[in-house]
Amino acid sequence: MNKINIAVPCYQYGHFLGDCLDSILEQDVPGLRVMVLDNACQDNSLEVAREHALKDARVHVTTHTRNIGATAIYNEAIDWASGDYFLLIDADDILAPGALTA
């Protein structure tokens, strides 16, 4: 089984994050693992991420107490990935239905 890791770096995109995560979790693919990387958000991003993690064991959340910048958060996402396939998607993007199927 292929493993697909999707990282979602987030800074102040709480109003988009739920739709982003829903679009990922609705993909019909096995071996999906999602990491939301909260970059010291001051909005409701962390709350949205944690709510999704409570509802779906495929979602994991990491958070920072200070903003480490885009490059560092992207590098952290890449370091986290261990699947056969990796997607880095911004929290204000969504995946079309079937985007991850062959």
| Span 50-98, pLDDT tens digits | 999 999 999 999 999 999 999 999 999 999 999 899 999 999 999 999 9
DSSP 5-47: EEEEEESS-HHHHHHHHHHHHTS--SSEEEEEEE-S-SSSHHH
| Segment 9-54, tens digit of pLDDT | 999 999 999 999 999 999 999 999 999 999 999 999 999 999 999 9
Q: What is the pLDDT at residue 1?
A: 56
- Report d(CA 28, CA 45) in Å as an integer: 25
- Report d(CA 72, CA 88) in Å as an integer: 13
